[in-house]
């Protein structure tokens, strides 16, 4: 069996960890069914060196995973298991994640480059909370009785959609795994999951915990591999009833197209963003500065809801910029396992190059680098926290998602003007408003075209609160009660309590 072994020795955790990295199909670790399958090099972004070779899955493996998932759906899962029992398993999984929090956070930091502190303080506890939250829902999912007339009993059933394909990205590998699994398992669906080929480790470790928690074989299957092969096989599969995707808008389009061309499976998409963060003159300045920095530099800017466009009102602009630059310069960049580190490396060479291209493009477009704008250090994929001033709305760095520690700042005068600028985007995932005026806060929140508006805070997420995008930022909502709809088929049952009524004559 293919395993990845690593000895951790840092302030947060010391110990040897073994992760099964083979394909996880029907509760077993297997080799690819395709003899031509190769391996994928998985790289440590802190050093640029290879960590291990990940066995690659193929279309044939997706087929086997779908068969296992269908079998489980019809026998050991779905409506064959009481909601209460499904809920108990999810809660056990939450407890196991908490038990192994140091291991999971260490693996996440090693593989993705996010800091151990952030993974241990945010990603891992939020993943556990998500499993527990949906564990709570599992026995509270039910239809309604609809009193159409006294002659009829009419009710709805919320049945599981069945086999679901889930394709997740590399920016929050464990947390996205949890966001996808939680509602699908609570509603009684089975899963074929494809983690990102850049960050497969925490999902692979979770396969052990899923087995330990007691989920029946085949309920969750994990097929690693590339998007064009495994991802494409999932989105076009005839026996997958729903696909949930988080990643780029470009791939989101392909997923929808391939769903349409195959069996019209249900699609939810959580795509890119270009969050507008608006700071009014009457904001609590120090708090706004810190939230604005958190809004863009959290997770090294690799956050779909990042506050990557800052709009600052003219009366506070100079003071804000002075403090914001001071904070940006204080962001510690370096080893993700360093206790003081706030920002680790970007996830890959490709992402590093992509971000640096945008930085060069911003300079060429005439935007002014107020701080940063260069590589940090000599090895790994580190980029200085970067702030661009003097930007105009036509610039590429203002319109396109950079997905790195790069923020653009523009000055505005009126509320009307800033609402128009904020909404001038193909995206509509998240926005922020900073003001102490309660009327203005709500007025602007209502006017913004975005799935989330943060007032006097930024990047705050919670399992109970739905998350998703307007416009090209996606389709559907994850988290909260709303996410259950993505995994439920609603069936209406009409029961007539009388004999025949209608125009057909009696015999």
**What angle is formed at CA 35 by the lines to CA 32 and CA 38, rounded to 5 degrees?**
70
Q: Tell which residue, 313, 311, 274, has the closest CA to residue 292.
A: 311
Specify the residue, 246 or 386, whose C-beta has the smaller distance to ligand NAD.
Answer: 246
* Tokens describing residue 337: 């396992």
108 binds Mn ion (CB under 5 A): no
At closest approach, how far in Å is the CB of 196 from ligand NAD? 4
The answer to whether residue 111 forms part of the interface with Mn ion (CB under 5 A) is yes
Q: Determine, following the binding rule CB under 6 A, whether residue 56 of this chain makes contact with ligand NAD.
A: no
Q: Which does 304 bind (CB under 5 to 8 A by kind): ligand NAD, Mn ion, none?
A: ligand NAD
Residue 465: CB atoms within 10 Å: 12
Name which of ligand NAD, Mn ion, none residue 231 binds, using a CB cut-off of 5 to 8 Å depending on partner kind. Answer: ligand NAD
- Give residues 353-372 in contact with ligand NAD (rule: CB under 6 A): 354
CB of 245 to ligand NAD, least distance (A): 7
Distance CA 477, CA 475 (A): 7
The Cα-based distances of 88 to 143, 241, 271 in angstroms read 21, 25, 32
Catalytic hit among 270, 305, 401, 478:
270
In the structure encoding, which two tokens stand for residue 233, read together?
């096989």
Is 49 tagged catalytic?
no
- Tell me the site size for Mn ion, rule CB under 5 A: 3
Size of the site for ligand NAD (CB under 6 A): 27
**Catalytic status, residue 457:** no
Nearest distance from C-beta of residue 34 to ligand NAD, angstroms: 17
Q: Candidates 194-202, 408-416, 447-455, 459-467 — which segment interacts with ligand NAD by CB under 6 A?
A: 194-202
Contact 400, 358 (CB under 8 A): yes
Q: Identify the helix (H) or strand (E) that includes residue 496.
A: strand 488-496
Among the listed ranges 90-98, 227-235, 308-316, 325-333, the one in contact with ligand NAD (CB under 6 A) is: 227-235
Instruction: State in Å, rounded, how far the first CA of the chain is from the last one.
Output: 70
- Pairing type for strands 309-313 and 13-20 reads unpaired
CA dist., res. 32 & res. 24, Å (int): 10
Q: What are the beta bridge partners of residue 430?
A: 452
State the DSSP string of 228-268: IIIIHHHHT-TT--EEEEES-HHHHHHHHHHHHHTT--EEE
271 binds, among Mn ion, ligand NAD, none (CB under 5 to 8 A by kind): ligand NAD
CB of 273 to ligand NAD, least distance (A): 7
Q: Which does 111 bind (CB under 5 to 8 A by kind): ligand NAD, Mn ion, none?
A: Mn ion
From the list ligand NAD, Mn ion, none, partner contacted by residue 183 (C-beta under 5 to 8 A by kind): none
Q: Name the CA radius of gyration of the chain, rounded.
A: 24
- Give the residue numbers annotated as catalytic, written as ranges: 270, 304
**Footprint of Mn ion (CB under 5 A):** 43, 111, 198
**Footprint of ligand NAD (CB under 6 A):** 167-171, 194, 196-197, 226-228, 231-232, 235, 246-248, 251, 254-255, 270-272, 304, 354, 401, 403
């Amino acid at each position: 069996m293919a395993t990845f072994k690593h000895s951790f020795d840092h302030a947060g955790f010391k110990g040897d960890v073994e992760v099964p990295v083979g394909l996880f199909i029907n509760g077993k670790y297997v080799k690819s069914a395709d003899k031509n399958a190769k391996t994928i090099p998985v790289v440590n972004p802190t050093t640029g060196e290879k960590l291990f070779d990940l066995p690659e899955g193929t279309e044939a493996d997706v087929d086997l995973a779908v068969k296992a998932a269908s079998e489980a759906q019809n026998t050991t899962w779905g409506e064959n298991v009481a909601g209460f029992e499904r809920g108990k398993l999810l809660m056990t999984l939450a407890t196991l994640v908490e038990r192994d929090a140091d291991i999971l956070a260490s693996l996440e930091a090693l593989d993705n480059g996010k800091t151990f502190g952030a993974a241990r303080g945010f990603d891992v506890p939020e993943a556990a909370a998500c499993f527990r939250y949906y564990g709570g829902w599992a026995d509270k999912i039910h239809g309604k009785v609809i009193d159409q007339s006294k002659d009829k009993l009419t009710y709805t059933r919320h049945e599981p959609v069945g086999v679901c394909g889930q394709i997740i990205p590399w920016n929050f590998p464990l947390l996205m795994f949890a966001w996808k699994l939680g509602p699908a398992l609570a509603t009684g669906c089975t899963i074929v999951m494809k983690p990102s080929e850049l960050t497969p480790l925490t999902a692979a470790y979770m396969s052990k915990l899923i087995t330990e928690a007691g989920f029946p074989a085949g309920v969750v299957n994990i097929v690693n591999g590339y998007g064009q092969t495994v991802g494409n096989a999932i989105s076009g599969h005839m026996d997958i009833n729903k696909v949930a995707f988080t990643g780029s808008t470009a791939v989101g389009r392909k997923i929808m197209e391939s769903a349409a061309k195959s069996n019209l499976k249900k699609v939810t998409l959580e795509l890119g963003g270009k969050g507008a963060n608006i700071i009014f003159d009457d904001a609590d300045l120090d708090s706004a500065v810190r939230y604005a920095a958190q809004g863009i530099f959290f997770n090294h800017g690799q956050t779909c809801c990042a506050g990557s466009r800052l709009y600052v009102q003219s009366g506070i602009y100079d003071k804000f910029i002075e403090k914001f630059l001071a904070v940006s310069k204080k962001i510690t960049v370096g080893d993700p396992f360093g206790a003081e580190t706030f920002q680790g490396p970007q996830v890959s060479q490709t992402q590093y190059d992509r971000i640096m291209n945008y930085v060069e493009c911003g300079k060429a477009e005439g935007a002014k680098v107020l701080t940063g704008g260069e590589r940090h250090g000599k090895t790994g994929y580190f980029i200085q926290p970067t702030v661009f001033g003097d930007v105009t709305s036509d610039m590429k760095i203002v319109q396109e998602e950079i997905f790195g520690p790069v923020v653009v700042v523009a000055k505005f005068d009126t509320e009307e003007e800033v609402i128009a600028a904020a909404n001038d985007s193909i995206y509509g995932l998240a926005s922020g408003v900073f003001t102490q005026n309660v009327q203005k806060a709500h007025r602007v929140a209502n006017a913004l075209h975005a799935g989330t508006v943060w007032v006097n805070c930024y990047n705050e997420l919670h399992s109970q609160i739905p998350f998703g995008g307007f416009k090209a930022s996606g389709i559907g909502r994850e988290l909260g009660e709303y996410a259950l709809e993505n995994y439920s088929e609603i069936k209406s049952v009409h029961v007539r309590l009388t004999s025949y009524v209608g125009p057909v004559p009696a015999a």
